[in-house]
Structure 1
């Protein structure tokens, strides 16, 4: 038996997601109230500017109060295909467009309270395009070797889950491509 949602109350509807309280009957018959973030999903990109260098962002994240290292990513618009979202976000955030794309995988970053799924892509054969940041995006674009990103993870300099997952998927992709 799958869990059954008996009642849902939207506590807050934001630009990108909603925060809801759901009364749920679980598989074991227990009925509980759960707080859930309902999210449309996102796409993240590992963009290679050369065979061994990729684009990383140093981006301010208000929720944690400081800048972090990330791969480009963004929220899916309603009904948007994840690949189209990835293509749009790469241009908007980095000022580059990718000619070659491959989906590497999907992750569910915080399944304890959110249904968000992030689709992870690799983009190659990049060409310059016009960067078009959202008003709330404060970021710098950097070129970093793939080896350096692995070292940054080992040193705790990259802590973002989608970025670590994306770089791991990329390491598998690089092994397959060798």
Structure 2
């Protein structure tokens, strides 16, 4: 696949925000021509599928400003600088939902928007949950809900859950609950 790769000729940062950066590269493509590529640098994130003893999952309702809408999602959050994503997962689960988990299982890594970002999200199954107290960050407004996996899958199939990380998590959860993945 080397024949498809582009050679980076130069890179410049064109935006630096609180946690996102946008870079612009000049690249030499396989056809020998020079092109401009712009992309977002993201610190990475973790998403958790918190599975309760009753078989339901803990999810959140959260407003997402970019699309101006409240979404039903699995809890997730961005990595702090040099933080392992399992630590991110543990921290974010407690902050967003008030739950701690004793049993953590890594599922997979996803790259949700490869056309314009290097973002990657590590997905974890969190079990043996204990409810403590939600510890939201300032300016964070989240409603915690309990959802039956079958209801979640129906919402995905109806297009009512369009967040890609949550859709992928729902399919991993379904596979796990069917015993097709341990």
TM-score w.r.t. the length of structure 1 is: 0.94
- Give the number of aligned pairs: 178
Contiguous gaps of at least 5 residues in structure 1: none
2:69 to 53, 66, 80: 66
Q: Once the two structures are superposed, what CA deviation does each residue of 1:50-101 show, in whole Å capped at 9, x if it has no partner?
A: 2410011110011111101100000111111111110110000000001100
The answer as to 2:164 corresponding to 1:176 is no
Contiguous gaps of at least 5 residues in structure 2: none
Equivalent in the alignment of 1:110: 113
Equivalent in the alignment of 1:134: 137
Hey, what's the Cα distance between the residues in 2 that align with 1:160 and 1:177? 23
Q: Once the two structures are superposed, what CA deviation does each residue of 1:143-172 show, in whole Å capped at 9, x if it has no partner?
A: 011111001111221100000011111222
Hey, what's the Cα distance between the residues in 2 that align with 1:51 and 1:104? 21
Contact 1:6 1:25 in 2 (8 A): yes
The SS at the match of 1:176 is: coil
Hey, what's the Cα distance between the residues in 1 that align with 2:150 and 2:80? 33
The SS at the match of 2:105 is: strand
TM-score w.r.t. the length of structure 2 is: 0.92
Q: Once the two structures are superposed, what CA deviation does each residue of 1:94-149 show, in whole Å capped at 9, x if it has no partner?
A: 00001100011111101001111110000001002231112232210000111110
Equivalent in the alignment of 1:119: 122
Hey, what's the Cα distance between the residues in 1 that align with 2:33 and 2:176? 43
Hey, what's the Cα distance between the residues in 1 that align with 2:124 and 2:55? 16
1:152 to 137, 155, 177: 155
Contact 1:90 1:96 in 2 (8 A): yes
Contact 1:16 1:75 in 2 (8 A): no
Runs of 4+ in 1 over 3 A off after TM superposition: none
The SS at the match of 1:103 is: strand
Aligned CA RMSD, in angstroms, stands at 1.5
2:28 to 25, 30, 33: 25
